[in-house]
Structure 1
Amino acid sequence: MTTRTSTYPPDDGGLDDRVPFLARLESEDRSALLALGRTLDFTPRTVLLRQHEPSSHVLFLVHGWTKVTASAANGYEALLALRGPGDIVGESAALTGRPRSATVTALEPVRAVAVERERFKDLLDHSPAVSFALLGLTADRTRAADRRRLEFASMSVRERFAVLLLDLARTHGHRTPEGIKLAVPLSKQELAGSVGASREMVQRLLKELRDKDAVATGRRTMLIMRPDILRRIAGSGPGTGTAGGIPSSSRPAEQ
């Protein structure tokens, strides 16, 4: 897989923002939390949580990956994050009582544990360790999102797109004899939204990469054959490094 060199030093003693919520808990707290809910299974493309809906339960992902997207009033849709095993989704609505701020959709068969808002808040009230773990996760995601915005501000769309594909290859890529196959089915609009571009711009960038035999694309599928070309593009601008892409936990608490 591809690797990238960070322009930021690692935090001393801190948890990486990619560490999922359940992995931050002691086994006793993790078991107590999951025991509060009921297990739900979702098929691929099923919506787990929908933007603007008034529900307030929390979901803990046990198996499978999801995508987190949000739509603007004009229909523009952005991919905010990918969430997988161990992650929490829906915590913002549970804590604030506000409608969902994003949509969470299964990318593959997903198993999750649903915990009602009152049970979740009661556990937080009586378990400082769980509360601090959630606070730490939120802080890590916020810091990573700020770092990403700062770094992306110094890049062109072309550079941001190359960084995104490299990150997806590293976190969700499977090696094949032909290249690295991305395991997450993302639309051109979702890719565009994640780098602040138009769908048409992403189409042009993909054509450029196909012409260079760097990638091959199908319907919501992508094969990266020349990651060295992507690294060269990503490294052509100032501030290149690391906050790009859609890591599994790169945004503040949402949904």
Structure 2
Amino acid sequence: MRDRVTAVTGAAGGIGAATVAALVSAGRPVAALDIDQDGLRALCGDLQERRPNEAHTVQAHTVDIRDRAAVEAALDKVEAGLGPVTGLVNVAGVLRPSPVVSTTDDDWAATFAVNTTGVFVACRAAARRMAERGQGAIVTVGSNAGGVPRTGMAAYAASKAAAAHFTRCLGLELAPHGVRCNIVSPGSTDTPMLRALGAGDVVEGDLASFRTGIPLGRVADPRDVAEAVLFLLSEKARHITMHELYVDGGAALRA
């Protein structure tokens, strides 16, 4: 995986930051993209402290993934500074929990703008470059909520389902160009988003909200998700595309 440049959106925290750290550990140059400038500084500072010999392979770019021009400009800078982008990981996401009848137009639009349109914007920019070169891998971080109904999360679940199916369609189009597209769908993961949600005991589940527990008996660590992402980016997964890998401890009870 060395010398293969990967762009990661939503890189400043949670699963995004864990993915950046895992890529750096694998010796892969990384472009860390996020709207949170302070979070990017903290990420780079932490990497510099823990991996001083490898942190120079990380470029931080403050960018709003909803902004097509900003994303294109960021990838141009990445390729000028680090080299051709051969990997993209879509992690950026927002969650505004609410029952459907209480969901505002702004909640719905904002959720789709980041979770779905942002994936489209980033993928389109990266896919053009990868297809021209005949190689690359894209991984979209979805959610098991995209395949299992959740109360109070309709906008989030629908946006993640849309992003996942978009990624499969993109994978079909890019397969002749040697570019693979896959989805990693986590369940409850120990991130600021989950803590802010205050979801109760997700391990045991909640009958009142029709939510099963987690058969493996623990909430995921962001590194669990990051390792799945790395696998799908790597040559070990060279014959896998348009696949959705659930990393949720069995919570979705998928066959």
**TM-score range normalised by the length of the shorter chain:** under 0.3
TM-score (normalised: structure 1): 0.28
TM-score (normalised: structure 2): 0.28
The structure with higher relative contact order (CA 8 Å, sep 6+) is 1
Indicate the structure (1 or 2) with the bigger Cα radius of gyration: 1
Higher strand share: 1
